[in-house]
Structure 1
Amino acid sequence: MAKGRFEYKTVIKKDRRLVWDFFSDPANLQKITSFPRVQVIRDSEQEERIKIKLNFFLFRITWYAVITEKRDQDYFIDEGDNLPFPLRHWKHTHQFESSGTGTIMTDKVEYRAFAPDFLVKMMLILMFKSREKKIRSIFRWI
């Protein structure tokens, strides 16, 4: 079983408050994720538990992200619940830091998976690089 940590930094040339507000809305995950296609369903009764449906064309996966910790404009942490195979553990810290005229967003992922570590990291790199491209495009117009 692979156990690892992954970190990815994205520089966004916008004020931290604006960046925080965008990433605090789980629906925006759909806007920044092109593969796999993502559908976010928020339970109004359990605001901190978010249902995520991933569409890989040939198969679909549903899992839950639970916001376990949050500090306004600084960071929030989501942890996976009812994770799909091959994931066994998922903890994702979204950290925001002012830098000059912009914001540095750092994604830190701790995971355990029934998959080789290099495959997990390769998938994370592809996902975050794709998201970075979408984020730059979106924030160009905000």
Structure 2
Amino acid sequence: MKLTIKTQVEQDYLTVKNGFDASLFKKLSPPFPPVKLLRFDGSKKGDLVSLELNFLAFKQTWTSEITEDQTNEKEFYFVDEGVKLPFFLKSWRHKHRIIQSGDQSIIRDEIQYQAPFGLLTLLLYPALLLQFAYRIPVYKKIFKRKA
């Protein structure tokens, strides 16, 4: 299943690129499930990001590896792919794109995922959509043009 979320922000793509750090990652986490950042190497190929999802009755570890990253004159992107996923996911690929748009930029989350069975893949879509929609006002606030 594919999911794409786009957010226009007021800063240029290289400034936004430099803001993609552990601090931003923590701010992007929605209230539920609570997320504990276990490891954050960065957003370069070979880096790992590991977190713990707390579903109150149980916890799940999610570890992704950055498998690609590139910066050119118009865009920066990196791809994280799940290497250890929560039980409800069979595969995960998330391409984070920051695209220059005039003197602003667009943050584009392109997600491909699959659950262990088809019905669950469909049922996860609205939950994932909400999780990533939560990021829109956070991105807009953090990457607001400085006065």
TM-score bracket for the superposition, by shorter chain length? 0.7 to 0.9
Q: Is the 8 A contact 1:27 1:40 kept in 2?
A: no
Cα deviation, residue 43, structure 1 = 6.6
SS of 1:116's equivalent in the other structure is helix
Q: Report % sequence identity.
A: 32
Cα deviation, residue 141, structure 1 = 7.5
Confirm whether residue 139 of structure 1 aligns to residue 143 of structure 2: yes
Equivalent in the alignment of 1:56: 55
Q: Which of these residues, 65, 76, 79, is aligned with residue 78 of structure 2?
A: 76
Confirm whether residue 40 of structure 1 aligns to residue 31 of structure 2: no
Q: Which runs of 5+ in 2 are unaligned?
A: none
- 1:55-76 CA distance string (max 9 Å, x none): 2334322110100110135210
TM-score if structure 2 supplies the norm length?
Answer: 0.81
User: CA separation in 1, counterparts of 2:107 and 2:79?
Assistant: 13
Equivalent in the alignment of 2:16: 19
User: CA separation in 1, counterparts of 2:143 and 2:76?
Assistant: 19
Q: Which runs of 5+ in 1 are unaligned?
A: none
Q: Is the 8 A contact 1:39 1:54 kept in 2?
A: yes
Q: Is the 8 A contact 1:97 1:105 kept in 2?
A: yes
Q: What RMSD, in angstroms, separates the aligned Cα atoms of the two structures? A: 2.0
Aligned residues: 136
